[in-house]
A and B are shown apart, each in its own frame.
Chain A
């Protein structure tokens, strides 16, 4: 395959195979085993926008597999600020590296980079567009908790309008016949074209402003931050800020195996009292970014993950 620009680049079978690879790579991701599958390979990290988790987890994933990483560094001091086109930047990095992970403020930048490059591009977020590696780690976290992806009831809550994470995830969950509940303030509803597209693909969708009434039969509650930076008007933000504040007291009647996820960073949509409950999975979810990206790096570089990782790896 080429790169991973949107989830449409993967079939359901490929998604499952990558999640299986990721599962086997867990001891390597945790640093318990050394397995240099990507030794001699170089990842180019091109983050044209700030990123903490995505950039660091790509770097960790590559290094855990024995590979190396070169970084674009601060955009403000790179050639981008001198007016270099994305095309030219990609031509240069393409020559230095074997694979590129990229985040860019403009939509379509990842596809554009892929069309400009010989090496595979991993889209780490393009504007309000796609973020497929986040979706893969989300799917990994869900499957890890429930042992399956099919037929789950997933509540997505908070900013469904601007959050690219929930857009990509909704599409992926629809492919696995999950039931979706979109809980958001009216102002931050899931965009109409996405709802129409999901419905056309057979999604079962409920839309509501009342998150709390939808929690008790949910298998997953996926919280998101209401992003202040998306609002030009302070008053508009004030109307919806703090719309949902999940507290451990709200979890008395939920299913025992329900998990709460969040792409992080959180503000106050999940109270710290939830952290100690059995439902909290957001920190594991952030860790899973490493293992999911390890599996994706192997897949895109054409490197097979051994069936018996314990046997192939060496103790650290």
Chain B
């Protein structure tokens, strides 16, 4: 099995930007979606999927160059990658380590999975609000309809 260091080197070190490591295997694309990184993004983005990890078995890694993600942006990832390690890189060195915080409520990150929920009307203007009922295991409930969310379905409902 390759070492963790080896897997990190699959992509060259970045000069400035953000590295998100320890993303659960297969979730990197969702993470990109949640961060609003898509075909309109002009900065270089590197993506490594399904690499061996001592801690996780397999994991995904994302490197975004020339962009420092904010705490608010990172907190959106709490639903899919709550244990990801995030490093802000400046001049090839780790300038800052950040952790993802799951607050008491997840606001305007995902839509409720209940198809008959009032929030399923895209024209309704109030924010999408999911309350954190439990952290371990992660359990969320819609503020409006009270439905406990199916986490597998939920990541498909990213706003």
Do A and B interact with each other, yes or no?
yes
Q: Which residues of A contact B (CB under 8 A)?
A: 6, 83, 85-87, 104-109, 111-112, 115-116, 126-130, 193
Does B18 lie at the interface of the complex (its beta carbon under 8 Å from any beta carbon of A)?
A: no
Q: A85-B124, A112-B124 are in contact. Are A6 and B118 (CB under 8 A)?
A: no
A85 and B119 within 8 A (CB): no
| Chain B interface category by residue count | 10 to 19
Q: Taking the nearest CB of chain A, how far is it from the CB of B4, in angstroms?
A: 40
A106 and B126 within 8 A (CB): no
27 A–B contact pairs at CB < 8 A?
A6-B146, A83-B123, A85-B121, A85-B123, A85-B124, A86-B118, A87-B124, A106-B116, A106-B120, A106-B121, A106-B145, A107-B114, A107-B147, A108-B117, A108-B146, A109-B118, A111-B144, A111-B146, A112-B124, A112-B126, A116-B126, A126-B118, A126-B145, A129-B145, A129-B146, A130-B146, A193-B148
Chain B residues near A115 (CB-CB < 8 A): 126, 144
Q: Taking the nearest CB of chain B, how far is it from the CB of A48, in angstroms?
A: 11
B125 and A106 within 8 A (CB): no
Chain B residues near A104 (CB-CB < 8 A): 118
Chain A residues near B67 (CB-CB < 8 A): none
Q: Which of B116, B123, B125, B126 contacts A107 (CB 8 A)?
A: B116
Which residue in chain B gives the minimum CB-CB distance to A111?
A: B144
Report, nearest first, the 5 A-B pairs whose CB atoms are least far apart: A108-B144, A108-B145, A107-B145, A106-B118, A108-B118
Does B106 lie at the interface of the complex (its beta carbon under 8 Å from any beta carbon of A)?
A: no
Chain B residues near A111 (CB-CB < 8 A): 143-146
Chain B residues near A86 (CB-CB < 8 A): 118, 121, 124
Cα(A106)–Cα(B123), bound, Å: 14
Interface residue ranges of B119-149 to A (CB < 8 Å): 119-121, 123-126, 142-148
Does B112 lie at the interface of the complex (its beta carbon under 8 Å from any beta carbon of A)?
A: yes
Q: Taking the nearest CB of chain B, how far is it from the CB of A308, in angstroms?
A: 40
Chain A residues near B114 (CB-CB < 8 A): 107-108
Which residue in chain A gives the minimum CB-CB distance to B117?
A: A108
A87 and B119 within 8 A (CB): no
Chain B residues near A83 (CB-CB < 8 A): 123
Cα(A30)–Cα(B39), bound, Å: 68
B117 and A87 within 8 A (CB): no
Chain B residues near A105 (CB-CB < 8 A): 116
Cα(A127)–Cα(B117), bound, Å: 9
Cα(A112)–Cα(B143), bound, Å: 9
Chain A residues near B126 (CB-CB < 8 A): 87, 112, 115-116
Chain A residues near B121 (CB-CB < 8 A): 85-86, 106
Q: A87-B125, A193-B148 are in contact. Are A112 and B119 (CB under 8 A)?
A: yes
B124 and A107 within 8 A (CB): no
Which residue in chain A gives the minimum CB-CB distance to B129?
A: A115
Q: A86-B118, A87-B124 are in contact. Are A108 and B142 (CB under 8 A)?
A: yes
Chain B residues near A108 (CB-CB < 8 A): 112, 114, 117-119, 142-146
Q: Taking the nearest CB of chain B, how far is it from the CB of A193, in angstroms?
A: 7
Chain A residues near B148 (CB-CB < 8 A): 193
Chain B residues near A193 (CB-CB < 8 A): 148
Interface residue ranges of B49-95 to A (CB < 8 Å): none
Q: Which of A112, A128, A130 contacts B118 (CB 8 A)?
A: A112
Q: Taking the nearest CB of chain B, how far is it from the CB of A272, in angstroms?
A: 35
B124 and A127 within 8 A (CB): no
Chain B residues near A87 (CB-CB < 8 A): 124-126
Q: Taking the nearest CB of chain A, how far is it from the CB of B32, in angstroms?
A: 30
Chain B residues near A130 (CB-CB < 8 A): 146
Cα(A108)–Cα(B130), bound, Å: 12
Chain B residues near A126 (CB-CB < 8 A): 118, 145
Residue among B112, B117, B126, B145 with the highest chain A CB neighbour number at 10 A: B145
Q: Taking the nearest CB of chain B, how far is it from the CB of A79, in angstroms?
A: 13
Chain A residues near B124 (CB-CB < 8 A): 85-87, 112
Q: Taking the nearest CB of chain A, how far is it from the CB of B116, in angstroms?
A: 5
Cα(A290)–Cα(B16), bound, Å: 68
B116 and A128 within 8 A (CB): yes
Cα(A87)–Cα(B116), bound, Å: 17
Cα(A105)–Cα(B116), bound, Å: 8
Cα(A6)–Cα(B121), bound, Å: 22
Q: Taking the nearest CB of chain B, how far is it from the CB of A37, in angstroms?
A: 32
Chain A residues near B117 (CB-CB < 8 A): 106-108
Chain B residues near A107 (CB-CB < 8 A): 114, 116-118, 144-147
